[in-house]
Chains A and B, each alone.
Chain A
Amino acid sequence: MGPTTETTTEPVVDPATSAPARTKPPAPPTTANQRRAQRGSAAGLLANLALILYFAFSLLPVLFIVALSLKTNAEQTTTYLWFTPTLENYQTVLGLGDGGSSYVRFFFASLATSTGAVLVSLLIGIPAAYAAARYRFKGSEDLMFTLLSFRFAPELVVIIPLGVIYQQIGLYDTIFGMVWVLQLVTMPLVVWILRSFFQDLPAELEEAALLDGYTRRQAFLKIVLPLVRPGIAAVCLLAFIFAWNNFIFPFTLTSGDAQTVTVSSLAFLGGNQVRFNLVAAGAVMAVLPPLVLALCIQRYLVRGLSFGAVKG
């Protein structure tokens, strides 16, 4: 923005008159402006500082767990951040050293049950959410509320009858049984979140597709479904996290074959020594699947999490 460019781009300007302009400094900002700018930058600095502090505050537990997972038995309760790192805990958890751990098996059980629960709830939940958004009938709101009540009713209330029933019909400690029960956790989430996405889409889009000559199913698959993809991505991740983190159902309904990582970590706390470092190593690895999933669908995620909230 210098005066030099001014003179070079405008050759018609007389050099005699433009010469002083070249040396003239830019107009000094008024004192009021200066003060405002200073105050603005000071406030900005404070805001940034606050953000950095909050950032550190919220990431500290993560850092702490990662650090803990790298500590030896001796150092796990005696040090904070200065210690001799070791990968020994990971080896132990994965059973690489003495081959005594079944963490990998639990890990895959977790993966299978969570993925299964998410798939089942998507398969049933997407059409259910669509129907709930489009068709009003007597009792439809009651039905939706009942579905929601699965979410806020404490799991502990149903856990004993559920355990008995599972024992009796042979679903105890099976992947199928776990998918079935975890789906109770994820389904309401899927239906309720996706319903608001479907409601935000004008019904006239489908009506237009119908008149274009598409069947109802085609109108749904070709027009509506692609438009709620961000919502599906978001709800996918949320449901997966909820299923993955669930503790009480695998704790009471599995004992070995279908046990998940959340429950299996307990084993490190029992016995003759409390091994917080092993629990930490297991937890760090257990974070990976939701993290990877989040990264994979990141593209849709931000849009998806905010899209349903505001009517466009």
Chain B
Amino acid sequence: MATIDVRSVRKTFGKLVALDDVSFSVNDGEFFCLLGPSGAGKTTTLKSIAGLVQPDSGEVWLGGQDAGDIEPNHRNLAMCFESYALYPQHNVFDNMASPLRSPVLRLPDAEVRERVGRTAEMLGVGHLLDRGVDQLSNGQRQRVALGRVLVRPANAYLLDEPLAHLDAKLRTSMRAELKRIAHGELNTTTVYVTHDYVEALSLADRIGVIKDGRILQVGTPQQVWDTPETAFVAQAFGKPRISFVSGGLVSDNGTIRFISSDGAITIPVPGLDTGAAAGESVRIGIRPRDLVLHTGAGDQPASHERLDGVVYVLEHLGRQTEVTVRIGESLVSVVAPRGDVGGLAVDDKVSLLLDPATVHVFGDSDDGRRLTR
């Protein structure tokens, strides 16, 4: 077990900047998720840690030691490749046994059999040990690839989208299983790459959000959810996505209010950073679940603001309905219980209730910094 320190790593492939000043550290035994869209540099980051990619500049420290001169085979890291990278000439057993038989570990045969058997059973591929890799489905291959990692003791596990090719049901159960293994049984330092925010939120001790080769924010699932540092990070979590409304800040008797560009939305924005001043153009983010569809019955709470608009799109998703409401020129999503939207149709007038304290304020671009505390 070991800590991982990535320090200002930069990597270019020709003209393409894959990693740009990437820094983060992973504590001993921590489960760290790297979340980002495809092409963000997640895999390159993992390979830099593994020593398979040589950074142009910057350092990777493993266990408090500069790993720059340590060959990949001596770093004692286990990696699960997104492409599986299973050895086609070996069967499932030999694939999973490969790290145990390598010159670094060279475990006795009995222990190899015992470990492979146990791991395969755990991943639900115990009955496939004699099969060739080409006889497996993609989901099975992925589990074998994961098994080749989990079967061995290692300083750290590097997992590159290890659940991406499983079907939805299996993915959920494997996620739970992985959580149990990672946090309980093995407690090995893990860097987990994914583009699925649910995986990141559910598995990670801490999450690093990466985009275009830059780390945008590192924090606990709670932190990245509650206080996203940029608009992009806010957008990366949650479904339906956070709604953005562009506008500006104006001063109104000492308090600062937000007014959307078309003037249709105006709400007070408490808790602004000292840096934010009236006159600044900003955009606000409203999470769909922070909004309440106001059905008319009952009074609105004093702390809440009321926004009036018309129904733009209705999407019935089982128990809940996702309603997109047009307010002026802005579209805002809200999730409402099925019962509350019974009589609604497109173009009906609706009101939304919003607690201004839940509004996120960002600078007016995708990279816009957070302006609320």
Asked whether A218 is an interface residue with its Cβ less than 8 Å from the other chain, the reply is yes
Report whether A213 and B83 are in contact in the complex, using a CB–CB cutoff of 8 Å.
no
How many whole Å from B124's CB to the nearest CB in chain A? 21
Task: State which residues 186-245 of A face B: CB under 8 Å.
Answer: 202, 204-205, 207-216, 218, 223, 226-227
Report whether A214 and B88 are in contact in the complex, using a CB–CB cutoff of 8 Å.
no
Interface of B, helix, strand, loop or mixed by DSSP: loop
Report whether B87 and A223 are in contact in the complex, using a CB–CB cutoff of 8 Å.
yes
How many whole Å from B305's CB to the nearest CB in chain A? 53
Q: Which residue of A lies closest to B52 (CB)?
A: A207
Report whether B73 and A208 are in contact in the complex, using a CB–CB cutoff of 8 Å.
no
How many whole Å from A299's CB to the nearest CB in chain B? 15
Asked whether B99 is an interface residue with its Cβ less than 8 Å from the other chain, the reply is yes
Report whether A215 and B103 are in contact in the complex, using a CB–CB cutoff of 8 Å.
yes
Report whether B79 and A213 are in contact in the complex, using a CB–CB cutoff of 8 Å.
no
Report whether A202 and B72 are in contact in the complex, using a CB–CB cutoff of 8 Å.
no
Report whether A211 and B72 are in contact in the complex, using a CB–CB cutoff of 8 Å.
yes
Interface of A, helix, strand, loop or mixed by DSSP: helix
Asked whether B81 is an interface residue with its Cβ less than 8 Å from the other chain, the reply is yes
Report whether A213 and B103 are in contact in the complex, using a CB–CB cutoff of 8 Å.
yes
A-B contact list, 8 entries, CB within 8 Å? A209-B98, A211-B50, A211-B72, A211-B77, A212-B148, A214-B73, A216-B73, A223-B89
Asked whether B78 is an interface residue with its Cβ less than 8 Å from the other chain, the reply is yes
Contacts of A216 in B (CB 8 A): 73
Task: Please list the residues of chain A having a beta carbon within 8 angstroms of any beta carbon in chain B.
Answer: 202, 204-205, 207-216, 218, 223, 226-227
Q: Bound complex: CA of A208 vs CA of B52, how far in Å?
A: 10
Q: A212-B99, A213-B73, A215-B71 are in contact. List 15 more A-B contacts (CB 8 A).
A: A207-B47, A207-B50, A207-B52, A207-B79, A207-B85, A208-B81, A208-B85, A208-B86, A208-B148, A211-B50, A211-B79, A212-B102, A213-B105, A214-B73, A227-B88
Q: Bound complex: CA of A212 vs CA of B79, how far in Å?
A: 8
Contacts of A211 in B (CB 8 A): 50, 52, 72-73, 75, 77-79, 99
Q: Name the one of B79, B103, B105 contacting A208, with C-beta atoms under 8 angstroms.
A: B79
Report whether B98 and A212 are in contact in the complex, using a CB–CB cutoff of 8 Å.
yes
Q: Bound complex: CA of A227 vs CA of B47, how far in Å?
A: 24
Report whether A214 and B85 are in contact in the complex, using a CB–CB cutoff of 8 Å.
no
Report whether B87 and A205 are in contact in the complex, using a CB–CB cutoff of 8 Å.
yes
Q: Bound complex: CA of A202 vs CA of B84, how far in Å?
A: 11
- Annotate B91-132 by CB proximity to A: 1 below 8 A, 0 otherwise: 000000011001111000000000000000000000000000
Nearest 10 A/B pairs, CB to CB = A213-B104, A213-B102, A204-B85, A212-B99, A208-B85, A210-B72, A207-B52, A212-B98, A211-B79, A212-B102
Report whether A218 and B79 are in contact in the complex, using a CB–CB cutoff of 8 Å.
no
Report whether A205 and B85 are in contact in the complex, using a CB–CB cutoff of 8 Å.
yes
Q: Bound complex: CA of A207 vs CA of B79, how far in Å?
A: 9
Contacts of A209 in B (CB 8 A): 87, 98
Contacts of A223 in B (CB 8 A): 87, 89
Report whether A204 and B81 are in contact in the complex, using a CB–CB cutoff of 8 Å.
yes
Q: Which residue of A lies closest to B87 (CB)?
A: A223
Report whether A202 and B85 are in contact in the complex, using a CB–CB cutoff of 8 Å.
yes
Size of interface on B: residues with Cβ below 8 Å to A: 25
How many whole Å from B116's CB to the nearest CB in chain A? 13
The CB with the most chain A CB atoms within 10 A, among B47, B78, B98, is that of: B98
Contacts of B104 in A (CB 8 A): 213
Q: Bound complex: CA of A223 vs CA of B102, how far in Å?
A: 12
How many whole Å from B71's CB to the nearest CB in chain A? 8
Contacts of B73 in A (CB 8 A): 210-216
Contacts of B98 in A (CB 8 A): 209, 212
Q: Assuming the A-B contacts A212-B98, A212-B99, A215-B73, are A207 and B88 also in contact, with contact meaning beta carbons closer than 8 angstroms in the complex?
A: no
Report whether B89 and A214 are in contact in the complex, using a CB–CB cutoff of 8 Å.
no
Q: Bound complex: CA of A209 vs CA of B72, how far in Å?
A: 10
Q: Assuming the A-B contacts A208-B85, A211-B50, A223-B87, are A218 and B78 also in contact, with contact meaning beta carbons closer than 8 angstroms in the complex?
A: no
Q: Bound complex: CA of A189 vs CA of B83, how far in Å?
A: 31
Q: Name the one of B77, B83, B148 contacting A202, with C-beta atoms under 8 angstroms.
A: B83
Report whether A213 and B81 are in contact in the complex, using a CB–CB cutoff of 8 Å.
no
Q: Bound complex: CA of A277 vs CA of B71, how far in Å?
A: 65
Contacts of A218 in B (CB 8 A): 102-103
How many whole Å from B2's CB to the nearest CB in chain A? 15
- Annotate B65-76 by CB proximity to A: 1 below 8 A, 0 otherwise: 000000111011
Q: Which residue of B lies closest to A218 (CB)?
A: B103
Contacts of B77 in A (CB 8 A): 211
Q: Bound complex: CA of A215 vs CA of B72, how far in Å?
A: 9
How many whole Å from A137's CB to the nearest CB in chain B? 13
Report whether A214 and B87 are in contact in the complex, using a CB–CB cutoff of 8 Å.
no
Report whether A210 and B52 are in contact in the complex, using a CB–CB cutoff of 8 Å.
yes
How many whole Å from B42's CB to the nearest CB in chain A? 15
Contacts of A226 in B (CB 8 A): 89
Q: Which residue of B lies closest to A212 (CB)?
A: B99
How many whole Å from A308's CB to the nearest CB in chain B? 16
How many whole Å from B188's CB to the nearest CB in chain A? 14
Contacts of A202 in B (CB 8 A): 83, 85
Contacts of A205 in B (CB 8 A): 85, 87
Contacts of B75 in A (CB 8 A): 211
- Annotate B155-199 by CB proximity to A: 1 below 8 A, 0 otherwise: 000000000000000000000000000000000000000000000
How many whole Å from A49's CB to the nearest CB in chain B? 39
- Annotate B352-371 by CB proximity to A: 1 below 8 A, 0 otherwise: 00000000000000000000
